[in-house]
Amino acid sequence: MSANVEITDTFDQWRVKNNELLVATQTDGSSNFIKLTNTTDSTSNTTGSIITAGGMGIAKNLFVGTNLDVAGTTNLDAIDIDGAVQIDATVTVGVNDTGYDVKFFGATTGKSLVWDESADSLIVTGTTTLVGTTNLDAVDIDGATQIDATVTVGVDDTGYDVKFFGATTGQHLLWDQSADELALVGDTKLSFHDAAGGENIVASSDGHLEINSATTLDITAPTVDVNASTKLNVDGATQLTGAVTVGVDDTGHDVKFFGASAGAFMLYDQSADQLIIQGASADATTSTGKLLLSTSLTDINDGDVIGRIDFQAPLEAGATDSRVVGATILAEADATFSSSVNSTDLVFLTGDSGAATEKLRIDSTGQTTFADGAIDVNIASHDGTNGLALGGTVVTTTAAEINKIAGGTSRVTTAVASGDGILINDGGTMAMTNVDTVSTYFSSHSVGGGNIVTTGALNSGSITSGFGTIDTGASAITTTGLISGGSLDIDNVLINGTTIGHTDDTDLLTVADAALTLKGTLTVGVDDTGHDVKFFGATAGAFLEWDESADELEIRGGAATPGKLLLSTAEATVVDGNKLGQIDFQAPAETGTDALVVGASIVAEADATFSATVNSTDLVFLTADSGAATEKLRIDSTGQVTFADGAIDVNIASHDGSNGLKLGGTLVTSTAAQLNAAANAATTGKAIAMAIVFG
C-alpha cells in the first residue's frame, strides 16, 4: 500500500468474520504481514502511517525507531529504553500501597539509582550529583555525599529539623526548627582545627559546659562580661596581662585567694573595706597571717630598701603636701648582704609638712634609736607603779626627781632631821643611808684631818680622783654640759608625765587603690587547696604574689626599688584624727568573744587638718588584752614618741650596765634600784653632791 489505509467495519475486503483480527493465516510471507512504506511522522492520534481509533494490543516487544510520544497515561509492566526519553507529564510506577522497583544504571559497573519498593527507599550506589534545586520530604543517605551548591531546608519562618547522627548511641547534631536553635545532644563536642583534637566546646553533663584548648584560649573583645551567680572557678595557672577591676566605685565584691594550708586565705572584704590575710587553722607558729614585702635586687648593700608600707590620702582636696605619703614603715639593709649576713633595720617615718622623715629605727641587733631633734620619748603611764622598766624592774623615780639629779636648783626642803635618807655611791653602787650614819662618820673625820684633805673651795678647781669637773655656779650643782658619773647621762630629754595622747578610734583599715579595682567576687582555689596569684607591675621584676604554698602575700619591688604596700584613704577633706591607713592582726577562726576581736593594729592617723602645706601624720600602735585593741605607743609627725597612760611598763630588758637605756647616745649604767633610791632622797641634788664627795 502506498497510501494510508483505514481499517473499518465497512472495509469488506479485509474484514474477517468476527471483526476483531487481521490475521495472516499462512506462515510463509508473514514476517512483514503489515508493512507500510509511508514515512509520515505521527504528531497526534489522528496522524501517521497507521491510525486506529481503538486500542492496540501487542503480545511481544514494541520497537520504536525514533520517538515515542504518549499523550495519555502509559501503564508498562516492563520497559527497556535504549535511547533518550522525554516525559512531559507525571510518571507513576504502581499504585498507592503497591509499588515496583525502578532502577537507573550509570556508565560505571556497579553504579545505580534504585527505588526499592519493598524498603520504601531510594538507594544510590556510587556518587550522586544533584544539579539544581532538589526538594526532598525525607532522605536517607548511607554513603558519602558531596553537595556543590547551597542546601536550603524549608523557607523563611517555616523550617524543618535537621539531624546528624554520630557513631555513638545518643550522640547527634540537631537543628531544632521549633526552638530555633542548633543542639549538640549528649556530650557531643564542637571541635575546632581538627576532629578529636584538644580544642572543643562540650557539655560533659547536664548543666556543665566546658571550653577546652590544648595550649591557649584567647578571648578578644573591647569588653568581656562573665556573669557568675555564685562563683567563677579557675583551676589552672592564670596570667592577666591587663588591668583587673572588681566592682565599681562604692559597689565592690569580695576577692578571696586560698593557700595550700587549711584555713589560710587572703580576702578583700568589700563590706568592711579591708584586706584580710588569715593564717592556717593549724595551731602552729606558722599559722599566722603573713604579708611578705621583698625586692628583686640581687646585690643588697647598706641602705637598700627591701620592703615598705606607705600611708597616704591621695584624694585630699588640699593637694600638694596633703597628698604626699604621710607615714612609712620600711625595712632597710644595714650591711652588704652575703651568705651569712642579712642585717636589716626597721625604720618608721612620719610627715608633718612635706615628705615623711625618719623618727624611729630598730636596728638588726635590737638597738632602738629615736631621730635627733626636738623629740620626746613620753612614757605617759609612768606613775611609780607602771611605766619605765630597766632589766624588768620598774623605775619608780619620777621625772622631777631625775631632773634634780641633772642639777636642778629647786629646793623642796632645806631642813634635815634625824632619820632623813641620803643617796650614797657605795663603791660604784648607789645605796641609801641616813643623816645619822653620815653624822657618825663625820664625827671621826674632821675637816683638815687625816681622812679629809682640804683642796680649796668647791666652787673652783676639780676633784682629781676620777669624778670629773663639778661647777656649782650660783646653786649647789649646775652644769652647762652633761652630768656623767658612769651611771646616768641626760641630754635634751624631757620626761614630765603630763603630755599624754590617747584615742579610742578603732576604725578598720581602709584601702583605696585606683590601679586595681575588682568587679565581682573572685575565689582562687578552695579551702586548703589554693593556687598562686601574681600581679606584675610596670617595672621589671616587680610583682605582687599570693604564694599559696607559703600561705603568704609577697610584694616585690623592681631591681632598684623595694616592695611597697600603700594604704590610703579616699577622704577628700582629711582632719585631725582621720585615719590614712590601718593594719589589723586577728585570729577570726578562734572561739570565744574577745578571741575573735582584732588583737593588734598599726594606724596612720592625721595629726592636723591637711592642706597644701600640711600632712602631719602620727603612727599609732594598738594592742589588746581583753577586748578591743587600744593605743599603747604613738610616734607623732614631729618624731615625738608617747607611751599611752595606764598600767603600762616600758621595759628595757637588756638594761644591765653594758646595754639598755641610752640618753643622747650615752648609755645609762644606773640600775632601776639605784634610780628608785634617788626617789627617796629628800633633796636629791644635795644627796648626789655628797655621794660624789664621800662615795
Between 384 and 576, the higher pLDDT residue? 576
On whether both 628 and 684 belong to a single domain, the answer is no
Q: Verify that 45 and 2 share a domain, yes or no.
A: yes
Q: 4-55, pLDDT tens digit by residue?
A: 445 444 445 444 444 445 555 556 655 665 677 777 788 888 888 788 877 7
Q: How do residues 528-550 score in pLDDT, each as one tens digit?
A: 999 998 888 889 999 999 899 98
Q: Of 74, 92, 110, which residue is a domain's last?
A: 92
- Cell readout for 374 is 626636738
Distance of alpha carbon 196 from the chain centroid: 35
- 327 and 446 housed in the same domain: no
Q: Are residues 630 and 512 in the same domain?
A: yes
Position 692 scores a pLDDT of 43
Report the pLDDT averaged over residues 518-523.
62
Is 207 part of any domain? no
Average pLDDT over the chain, rounded to an integer: 78
Q: Is residue 198 part of a domain?
A: no
Is 484 in the same domain as 512?
Answer: no
Q: Is residue 541 part of a domain?
A: yes
49 lies in the same domain as 121: no
pLDDT of residue 586: 87
Residues with Cβ < 8 Å from 250, sequence gap 6 or more? Answer: none
Q: Do 366 and 309 have their domain in common?
A: yes
Is the pLDDT higher at 485 or at 436?
A: 436
Could you tell me the residue range of the domain that residue 51 belongs to?
1-92
The residue from 68, 92, 116 where one domain ends is 92
Query: Distance (Å, rounded) from C-alpha 486 to C-alpha 539?
Result: 53
Report the phi/psi class of residue 482: left, alpha or beta, with left for phi > 0 and alpha for psi in -120 to 50.
beta
Q: Decide if 190 is inside a domain.
A: no
Which 3-state string (H, E, C) describes 477-519?
CCCCCCCCCCCCCCCCCCCCCCCCCCCCCCCCCCCCCCCCCEC
Q: Which residues pair with 345 in a beta bridge?
A: 332
- The confidence score (pLDDT) of residue 670 equals 83
- Please give the backbone phi and psi of residue 625, each rounded to the nearest 5 degrees, phi first: -120, -50
pTM: 0.57
Instruction: Report the DSSP beta bridge partners of residue 114.
Output: 103, 123
Q: 638 and 547, same structural domain?
A: yes
pLDDT at 29: 54
Q: Select the more confidently predicted residue: 446 or 93.
A: 93
**pLDDT, mean of residues 384-412:** 75
pLDDT at residue 322 in the model: 93
Residues 17, 87, single domain; the answer is yes
pLDDT of residue 421: 79
Nearest to 349 by CA among 327, 375, 332, 325: 327
Phi, psi angles (nearest 5°) of residue 395: -80, 115
Where does residue 675 rank: exposed (0-12), middle (13-18), buried (19+ CB within 10 A)?
Answer: buried
What nine digits make up the cell of 291? 604579708
Q: How far apart are CA 621 and CA 635, in angstroms?
A: 9
CB 322 within 8 A of CB 572: no
The whole-number pLDDT of residue 469 equals: 54
Number of domains in the chain: 4
Please name the residue that has the C-alpha cell 674632821: 446
Q: Could you tell me which residues come within 8 angstroms of residue 478 by beta carbon, excluding any fewer than 6 positions away?
A: 407, 409, 471, 472
Stronger pLDDT, 638 or 674, i.e. the higher one:
638
Contact 643, 500 (CB under 8 A): no
- The per-type count for the chain, helices as H runs and strands as E runs, is 4, 36
From 65, 92, 119, the end of a domain falls on 92
The pLDDT tens digits of the residues spanning 350-363 come to: 999 999 999 999 99
- Let me know if residue 191 belongs to a domain: no
Strand pairing partners for 113?
104, 124
Which residue would you say has higher pLDDT here, 457 or 246? 246
Q: Are residues 523 and 639 in the same domain?
A: yes
Instruction: Kindly report, residue by residue over 283-312, the tens digit of the pLDDT.
Output: 666 678 889 999 999 999 999 999 999 999
Indicate whether 182 belongs to any domain: no
Confidence of residue 489 (pLDDT cuts 50, 70, 90): very low
679, pLDDT greater than 70: no
Judge if 129 and 56 occupy the same domain: no
Q: What DSSP character marks residue 440? A: H
pLDDT of residue 473: 56
Average pLDDT, stretch 373-399?
85
Report the pLDDT value the prediction gives residue 512, as an integer from 0 to 100.
Answer: 38
What pLDDT score does 359 carry? Answer: 92
Residue 606 lies in a domain: yes
Could you tell me if residue 240 is inside a domain?
no
Determine the average pLDDT of the residues in 333-351. Answer: 95
**Predicted pLDDT of residue 504:** 35
For residue 350, the cross-strand partners are 327, 357
Taking only the tens place, the pLDDT of each residue in 131-157 is 666 666 667 776 677 778 888 888 999
Task: Give the pLDDT score at 695.
Answer: 41
Average pLDDT over residues 376-402: 84
Q: Compute the average pLDDT of residues 321-325.
A: 93
Same domain, 650 and 509: yes
